[in-house]
């Protein structure tokens, strides 16, 4: 009864009146009190109806007091790791200089007669800093933990600031959306490559004897310049495998999730293969000018470089490179996936091509990748129990998988799935759609049916469901024959969505999936009094048809509406209006074939993952590294020196085998103990016949969502829907700037690349034109695009 009078007062007020906003807030409170909550569409948003409530003083969160010695230890470790990293990078940058080459040569001569010889010296110089940083990272992560969370942005509202990692600089082009920090990294690699190549070229020209013929000078220049190109390529190769070590302690240290790091692998791959290709072309041109091209290509020398091994390695690399280009990869993903397994051939023959002491320059990154790959292999051997498999009417499949209580993850995480009935070789990444606070014993994913693999998965689930209904309507037999294996989860080390006081979630289509986990996480934190800075949330969701809308209604926000200001804007792009009268959601929106509640299978996900447990993953790294040093020393003492092994290609292969053996033998021992420890503490998760209570705790979280009336009620309360329109991000961010004021706003985007680019472009534009009282938008991407 009071809404009309407040609305009239709003219309009489000038647009810039402070009283206007007060009356608008009063109107919202009155509507809520009268039980007539409704969300505003973009047509209703104007100066008289602010989209978002203004920024208010933040709630005080409980902050644990960190002991002084812990703070000192963390700063000591940070400074030590930074000094090591900067020293390592500076050494690589200055390596082409003649003075550095002279000092390097003197050290090689001085250490030639030691136990590990030249190979050990190169391993120490080029890989020692990297491995030491990895070892120190274990200690740093072990003493950090969740106390990092409340301190990171305590003063967000008072002191908004730009951050290199979240400020988009490039939004269009070959690299996609690139932050300021990423641009700095790109420039460093470009500068290093241009500097080293140009310096090598000038130094070669100065040293070529003028008495030689033009042909001889050209051949000599091409041969020496090609060798130097390979040297630069080896340094790039040292970084190439680091981003794809999914559970690497180094990625966890800098809090870069795997889906982001994959882009860096792509960029480094282009640079590395460009250098190696030019290296090969230089030698081919030189040999062709000399007239013995075929003989040189087939040459396999004992002392010196084995040319044929290099040709095989380069051929494998070129196949991987060509099939990874976007046009080929999008046209035939399976071709890209299977040819990328040639990395084994690429690395093995590269080691034989350059020998042990040159291969040692890039061994550190490859060793860390082998560590991660072996751990992933061990984790993926276990088949995971499928608690529930459902086909939703919006063309989406929901899988709920069993997991042990001690396997921790964050809401914005990925897992890799293998379904053996569909393929023994294919692994596909999917965002986790459940919060770790939803349940101790399950994890869920939403899978959009878009391609052949997902279509086959949907057909398999429907076939199983029909078979169950035919068997018996009362007998609850095992519900599915899906044989699923899991790698992961992988994600941010810190749940960064909880440290923003003001959060904007922008999703395109199935991109809402990770945000269901985020919203559930925030709701649980608010209900349970956990550390959580969030208090303003805007959800912007663009979908093609309205049958996808019920996905958002699974989150009940009413219980935290007094502590969280949540607004939603939904755009249905391919429909001109609601499918039914008055915009009601169909009753069948979340219905799926009826089935008996399944009982859990015998196995849950394995905790053998790099992000699973700091102590065990640390012991795994330490034991493998120590094992590598021991095996390499024993190999020199017992085999290479007594038998006078001198063949470069053979010693390079032995070095690679030592790396693999140290991980399998010494690291495998720790993995075995880790597995036994997991079984001991997870007795309650072994899914025995009397484990119904464990299953009930899991299943209630998922089956309890199927009340379609509750879904429609939640949907009507939370969403403002605009049909036949697309998000106008300029208008949306402009409204946020007006209503929230000078604050830090975290923007998380999950959607197609073009969708992300549109959001990033507006964020960059608003940040560059920002006035003193405007917010700073921080761009965060949560998309996985191989």
Tokens found for residue 502: 């003001």
Model confidence at 293, pLDDT cuts 50, 70, 90, reads very high
Q: How far apart are CA 319 and CA 297, in angstroms?
A: 19
Q: Is residue 381 pLDDT above 60, yes or no?
A: yes
Residues recorded for the chain:
786
Q: How far apart are CA 160 and CA 588, in angstroms?
A: 46
- pLDDT the model gives residue 778: 94
Q: Of the given ranges (17-21, 124-128, 487-491, 680-684), which has the lowest mean pLDDT? A: 17-21
Q: Which residues pair with 178 in a beta bridge?
A: 170
Q: How far apart are CA 414 and CA 431, in angstroms?
A: 5
Tokens found for residue 646: 């001198």
Tokens found for residue 208: 């070529």
Q: What is the mean pLDDT of the chain?
A: 80
Q: Are 400 and 480 in contact (CB under 8 A)?
A: no
Q: Is residue 303 pLDDT above 70, yes or no?
A: yes
Q: Is residue 429 pLDDT above 70, yes or no?
A: yes
Task: Put the strands of the sheet holding 413-419 in their side by side order.
Answer: 383-384, 484-491, 413-419, 428-431
- pLDDT the model gives residue 81: 95
- State the alpha helices, DSSP H only, in 531-613: none
How much is the pTM? 0.84
Closest by CA to 56, choosing from 166, 157, 170, is: 157
Residue 564, by phi and psi: left (phi above 0), alpha (psi -120 to 50) or beta? beta
Closest by CA to 596, choosing from 446, 699, 711, is: 699
pLDDT tens digit string along 590-636? 333 334 344 444 577 888 887 767 888 889 999 999 999 999 999 99
- pLDDT the model gives residue 417: 92
Q: How far apart are CA 121 and CA 113, in angstroms?
A: 11
Closest by CA to 357, choosing from 572, 609, 632, is: 632
Residue 741 or 652, more confident = 652
Q: Which residue has the tokens 């276990």?
A: 382
Q: How far apart are CA 399 and CA 564, in angstroms?
A: 30
Dihedral of the alpha carbons of 235, 236, 237, 242, in degrees to the nearest 10: 110
- pLDDT the model gives residue 389: 86
Sign of CA dihedral 452, 455, 459, 461: positive
Residue 699 or 226, more confident = 226
Q: Is residue 770 pLDDT above 70, yes or no?
A: yes
Is-cis flag, bond preceding 47, omega within 30? no
Q: How far apart are CA 444 and CA 484, in angstroms?
A: 13
Q: Is residue 672 pLDDT above 60, yes or no?
A: yes
Q: How far apart are CA 124 and CA 358, in angstroms?
A: 13
Model confidence at 557, pLDDT cuts 50, 70, 90, reads low
Model confidence at 4, pLDDT cuts 50, 70, 90, reads very low
- pLDDT the model gives residue 48: 39
Q: How far apart are CA 55 and CA 717, in angstroms?
A: 22
- pLDDT the model gives residue 239: 93
Which H or E element spans position 314? Answer: helix 307-324
Tokens found for residue 440: 């101790």
Which H or E element spans position 442? Answer: strand 442-448
Q: How far apart are CA 2 and CA 668, in angstroms?
A: 71
pLDDT tens digit string along 240-285? 999 999 888 898 888 888 888 999 999 999 999 999 999 999 999 9
Q: Are 701 and 439 in contact (CB under 8 A)?
A: yes
CB atoms within 10 A of CB 544: 15
Q: How far is CA 682 from the centre of its chain?
A: 28
pLDDT tens digit string along 345-378? 999 999 999 998 889 989 999 999 999 999 999 9
Cα–Cα distances (Å) from 149 to 20, 75, 531, in that order, read: 36, 17, 8
Q: How far is CA 639 from the centre of its chain?
A: 42
Model confidence at 46, pLDDT cuts 50, 70, 90, reads very low
Q: How far apart are CA 266 and CA 240, in angstroms?
A: 9
Q: How far apart are CA 138 and CA 670, in angstroms?
A: 16
Q: Is residue 659 pLDDT above 80, yes or no?
A: yes
Q: Which residues pair with 781 in a beta bridge?
A: 749
- pLDDT the model gives residue 153: 43
Residue 477, by phi and psi: left (phi above 0), alpha (psi -120 to 50) or beta? beta
- pLDDT the model gives residue 225: 93
Percent of the chain with pLDDT over 70: 79
Tokens found for residue 694: 């464990």
Q: How far is CA 394 from the centre of its chain?
A: 27
Q: Which residues pair with 486 in a beta bridge?
A: 417
Q: Which residues pair with 397 in a beta bridge?
A: 391, 447
Q: Which residue has the tokens 């917010």?
A: 775
- pLDDT the model gives residue 179: 92
Q: Using the 8-state DSSP alphabet, how is residue 166 labeled?
A: G
Q: Using the 8-state DSSP alphabet, how is residue 580 labeled?
A: S
Q: How far is CA 475 from the centre of its chain?
A: 42
Model confidence at 222, pLDDT cuts 50, 70, 90, reads very high
∠ Cα 196 202 204 (to 5°): 100
Sign of CA dihedral 273, 278, 281, 282: negative
Q: Are 532 and 525 in contact (CB under 8 A)?
A: yes
- pLDDT the model gives residue 64: 53
């Amino acid at each position: 009864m009071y809404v009309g009078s407040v609305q009239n007062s709003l219309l009489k007020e000038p647009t810039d009146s402070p009283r206007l906003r007060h009356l608008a807030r009063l109107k919202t409170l009155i509507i809520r009190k009268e039980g007539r909550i409704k969300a505003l569409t973009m047509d209703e948003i104007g100066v008289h109806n602010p989209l978002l409530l203004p920024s208010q003083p933040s709630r005080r969160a409980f902050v644990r007091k960190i002991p002084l010695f812990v703070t000192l230890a963390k700063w000591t470790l940070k400074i030590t790791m930074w000094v090591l990293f900067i020293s390592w990078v500076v050494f690589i940058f200055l390596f082409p200089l003649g003075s550095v080459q002279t000092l390097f040569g003197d050290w090689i001569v001085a250490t030639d007669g030691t136990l590990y010889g030249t190979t050990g010296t190169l391993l120490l110089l080029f890989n020692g800093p990297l491995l030491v940083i990895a070892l120190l990272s274990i200690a740093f992560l072990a003493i950090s933990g969740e106390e990092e969370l409340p301190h990171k942005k305590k003063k967000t509202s008072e002191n908004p600031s730009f951050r290199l990692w979240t400020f988009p600089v490039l939004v269009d082009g070959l690299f996609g959306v690139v932050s300021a920090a990423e641009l700095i990294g790109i420039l460093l690699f470009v500068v290093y490559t241009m500097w080293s190549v140009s310096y090598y070229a000038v130094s070669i020209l100065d040293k070529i004897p003028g008495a030689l013929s033009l042909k001889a000078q050209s051949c000599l220049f091409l041969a020496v310049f090609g060798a130097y190109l390979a040297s630069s390529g080896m340094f790039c190769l040292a970084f190439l495998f680091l981003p794809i070590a999914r559970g690497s302690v180094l990625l966890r240290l800098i809090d870069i999730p795997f889906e982001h790091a994959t882009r860096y692998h792509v960029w480094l791959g282009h640079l590395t293969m460009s250098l190696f290709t030019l290296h090969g072309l230089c030698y081919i041109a030189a040999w062709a000018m000399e007239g013995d091209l075929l003989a040189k290509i087939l040459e396999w020398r004992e002392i010196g470089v084995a040319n044929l091994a290099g040709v095989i390695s380069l051929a494998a690399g070129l196949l991987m490179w060509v099939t990874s280009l976007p046009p080929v990869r999008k046209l035939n993903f399976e071709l890209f996936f299977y040819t990328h397994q040639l990395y084994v051939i690429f690395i093995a023959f590269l080691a034989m091509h350059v020998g042990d002491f040159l291969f040692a320059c890039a061994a550190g990154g490859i060793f860390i990748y082998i560590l991660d790959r072996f751990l992933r292999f061990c984790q993926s051997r276990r088949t995971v129990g499928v608690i529930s498999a459902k086909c939703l009417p919006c063309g989406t499949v929901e899988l709920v998988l069993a997991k042990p209580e001690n396997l921790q993850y964050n809401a914005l995480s990925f897992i890799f799935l293998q379904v053996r009935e569909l393929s023994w070789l294919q692994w596909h990444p999917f965002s986790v759609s459940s919060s770790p606070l939803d349940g101790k014993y399950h994890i869920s994913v939403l899978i959009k049916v878009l391609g052949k693999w997902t279509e086959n998965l949907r057909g398999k689930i429907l076939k199983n469901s029909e078979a169950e209904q035919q068997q018996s309507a009362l007998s609850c037999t095992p519900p599915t024959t899906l044989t699923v294996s899991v790698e992961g989860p992988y994600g941010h080390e810190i749940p960064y969505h909880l440290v923003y006081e003001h959060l904007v979630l922008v999703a395109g289509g199935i991109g809402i999936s990770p945000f269901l986990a985020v919203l559930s996480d925030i709701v649980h934190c608010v209900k349970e009094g956990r550390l959580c800075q969030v208090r303003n949330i805007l959800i912007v969701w663009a979908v093609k048809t309205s049958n996808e809308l019920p996905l958002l209604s699974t989150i009940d926000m009413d219980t935290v509406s007094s502590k969280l200001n949540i607004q939603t804007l939904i755009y249905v792009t391919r429909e001109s209006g609601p499918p039914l009268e008055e915009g009601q959601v169909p009753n069948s929106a979340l219905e799926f074939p009826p089935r008996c509640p399944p009982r859990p299978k015998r196995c849950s996900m394995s905790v053998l993952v790099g992000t699973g447990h700091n102590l065990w993953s640390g012991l795994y790294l330490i034991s493998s590294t120590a094992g590598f040093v021991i095996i390499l020393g024993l190999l020199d003492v017992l085999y290479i020196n007594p038998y006078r092994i001198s063949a470069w290609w053979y010693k390079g292969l032995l070095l690679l085998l030592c790396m693999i053996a140290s991980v399998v033998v010494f690291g495998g021992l720790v993995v075995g103990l880790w597995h036994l420890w997991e079984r001991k503490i997870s007795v309650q998760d072994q899914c025995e016949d009397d484990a119904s209570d464990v299953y009930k705790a899991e299943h209630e979280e998922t089956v309890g969502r199927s009340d379609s009336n509750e879904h429609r009620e939640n949907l009507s309360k939370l969403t403002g829907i605009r049909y036949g329109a697309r998000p106008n991000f300029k208008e949306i961010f402009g409204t946020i700037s007006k209503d929230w004021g000078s604050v830090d706003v975290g923007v998380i985007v999950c959607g197609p690349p073009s969708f992300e680019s549109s959001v990033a472009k507006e964020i960059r534009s608003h940040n560059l034109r920002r006035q003193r009282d405007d917010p700073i938008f921080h761009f965060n991407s949560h998309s996985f695009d191989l």
